[in-house]
Amino acid sequence: MMSRRYPVIACLLLTLFFILWTVPATWAVKLFLGSEVGNGLGNRIGNRELLSVEDVRGTLWSGVAGKVTVQWQGETYSFGEVTWKLRPQSLLLLQSCIEFDSQLKQQLMNGIVCRHLDGDWSLVASRFHGPAALAQLWLPIQVRGNMTLQIDNLRLDQGRIINLNAQADWQDATYHNSQSWLALGALAANVSSDSQGTIVADIFDVGGPVKVDLSIQSAYQQPTYLSGSIQLLPEAPESLAQLLQVLGFKQQGGRFDIQWTL
Q: What is the structure's pLDDT at 4?
A: 57
28-32, 47-51, 203-207: segment of lowest average pLDDT: 47-51
**CA pair distance 168, 132, nearest whole angstrom:** 11
> Between 195 and 21, whose confidence is greater?
195
What is the average per-residue pLDDT within 52-69? 85
Higher pLDDT, 49 or 247: 247
pLDDT of residue 22: 59
If pLDDT is split at 50, 70 and 90, which confidence band does 171 have? very high
- What confidence tens digit (pLDDT) does each residue in 79-99 have? 888 998 988 888 788 888 999
pLDDT higher than threshold 90 for residue 154: yes
Q: What is this structure's pTM? A: 0.80
